[in-house]
């Protein structure tokens, strides 16, 4: 397995493989790899001849009061997981390679970035859009995989890739969950035992929303209220938002018609957790 540290070595590696007719699958990550990442790597392995995983804790997507310094870093473990999954290369550049002195270009997807996570984390998505643009340009993948757990990120990257003609296709892989429904996330390691016990309330709230829709409820506000009540019952958890949205614009849906995405974010102590659940309303035949 190659460990690639420089941007020029990354493009050389991709160009060589493409010349040889090898297809490249790409899984962008910030490391602290877990079963959710493993599922993305396996999907990439199945679809492409070679797989590259990027491990880069991107400073520009963290706000000044956020957890950049304490974001989990465990390259040795991540390398072992990648080696076990047959990954061909890890792209792990130092921050100076991605953002050298004089760097000043930023990529913005203003409308999608303003909502939900963007409201809580004002510069987050411009950091994501900038680094994803750079990563896709360097790796030149045939297909890239993103996790559905970060639904807004996936929607924004889709928009970005389309608008800027970024290379390769995008695939969004379903969220991988613990047995009790908690969506896997690198931030779950911050939860104390008690907080870990409380955290699946977000999944239960989304399930309650989806069940109401299956039961015939179509009013977005009612569904949101139901989800909020579920979270409220868990006293140690605060809801940041629980919303019924259009899956492509992420705007609130007052009345559900066909497809919707239930989006949620909660705070458990100092840990913010996200999750979502797509719902489709079947028309009566
Ligand atoms: O989802 C993540 O891990 C990051 O936001 C990404 C897409 C690797 C960009 O830094």
CA of 41 to the centre of ligand 1 (A): 14
> Hey, what are 242's tokens?
């629980």
Using CA atoms, how far apart are residues 161 and 135, in angstroms rounded to an integer? Answer: 12
CA of 42 to the centre of ligand 1 (A): 18
Task: Lay out the sheet containing 259-268: strands in order across.
Answer: 237-245, 259-268, 271-280
φ/ψ of residue 284, rounded to 5: -70, 135
pLDDT for the residue 285: 65
Ligand 1 pocket, residues with Cβ under 6 angstroms: 28-30, 58, 61, 128, 131-132, 150, 153
Question: What pLDDT, on the 0 to 100 scale, is given for residue 121?
Answer: 93
Protein residue with least CA distance to atom 9, ligand 1: 128
3-class DSSP assignment, residue 66 = coil
Which residue, 206, 212, 213, is CA-closest to 262?
206
For residue 32, what are the CA distances in angstroms to 55, 78, 247, 283? 9, 6, 28, 42
Candidate from 128, 149, 166, 171 with most ligand 1 atoms within 8 A of CB, to mutate = 128
H helix or E strand, kind and range, residue 268: strand 259-268
CA distance 93 to 53: 12
> What token pair was written down for 253?
């849906």
User: How many DSSP H helices and E strands does the chain contain?
Assistant: 11, 9
User: Is 37 labeled as catalytic in the residue annotation?
Assistant: yes
Contact residues for 114 (Cβ-Cβ < 8 A; gap 6+): none
Per-residue pLDDT of the chain (285 residues), as tens digits, is 999 999 999 999 999 999 999 999 999 999 999 999 999 999 999 999 999 999 999 999 999 888 799 898 999 999 999 999 999 999 999 999 999 999 999 999 999 999 999 999 999 999 999 999 999 999 999 999 999 999 999 999 999 999 999 999 999 999 999 999 999 999 999 999 999 999 999 999 999 999 999 999 999 999 999 999 999 999 999 999 999 999 999 999 999 999 999 999 999 999 999 999 999 997 766
Which 3 state secondary structure label does DSSP give 255?
strand
Distance in Å, CA 198 to ligand 1 centroid: 26
Give the pairing type, strands 89-91 and 237-245. Answer: unpaired
Query: What does the pLDDT look like over 178-209, one tens digit per residue?
Result: 999 999 999 999 999 999 999 999 999 999 99
Cα–Cα–Cα angle for 93, 61, 224, rounded to 5 degrees: 140
Report the relative pairing of strands 24-29 and 2-4 from DSSP bridges.
unpaired
Instruction: Go through the domains of the chain in sequence order and give each one's CATH number.
Output: 2-173 (3.40.50.620), 186-275 (3.30.1300.10)
Q: Distance between CA atoms of 210 and 278, rounded to whole angstroms?
A: 8
């Amino acid at each position: 397995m190659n460990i690639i540290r420089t941007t020029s070595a990354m493009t050389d590696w991709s160009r060589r493989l493409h010349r040889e007719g090898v297809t490249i699958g790409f899984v962008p990550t910030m490391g602290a790899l877990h079963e959710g990442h493993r599922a993305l790597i396996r999907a990439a392995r199945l679809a492409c001849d070679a797989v590259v995983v990027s491990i880069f804790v991107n400073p520009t997507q963290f706000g000044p009061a956020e957890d950049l310094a304490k974001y989990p870093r465990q390259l040795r473990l991540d390398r072992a997981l990648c080696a076990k999954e047959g990954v061909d290369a890890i792209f792990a550049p130092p921050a100076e390679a991605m953002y050298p002195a004089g760097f000043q270009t930023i990529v913005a997807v203003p409308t999608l970035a303003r909502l939900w996570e963007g409201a809580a984390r004002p510069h987050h998505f411009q950091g994501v859009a900038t680094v994803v643009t750079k990563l896709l340009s360097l790796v030149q993948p045939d297909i890239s995989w993103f996790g559905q757990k970060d639904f807004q990120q996936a929607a924004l990257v889709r928009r970005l890739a389309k608008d800027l003609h970024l290379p390769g296709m995008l695939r969004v892989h379903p969220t991988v969950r613990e047995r009790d429904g908690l969506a896997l996330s690198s931030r779950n390691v911050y939860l104390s035992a008690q907080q870990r016990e409380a955290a699946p309330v977000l999944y239960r709230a989304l399930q309650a929303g989806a069940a109401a829709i299956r039961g015939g409820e179509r009013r977005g506000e009612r569904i949101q209220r139901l989800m909020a009540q579920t979270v409220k019952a868990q006293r140690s958890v605060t809801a940041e938002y629980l919303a019924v949205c259009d899956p492509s614009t992420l705007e609130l849906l007052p009345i559900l018609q066909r497809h919707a995405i239930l989006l949620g974010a909660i705070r458990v102590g100092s840990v913010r957790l996200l999750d979502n659940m797509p719902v489709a309303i079947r028309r009566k035949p």
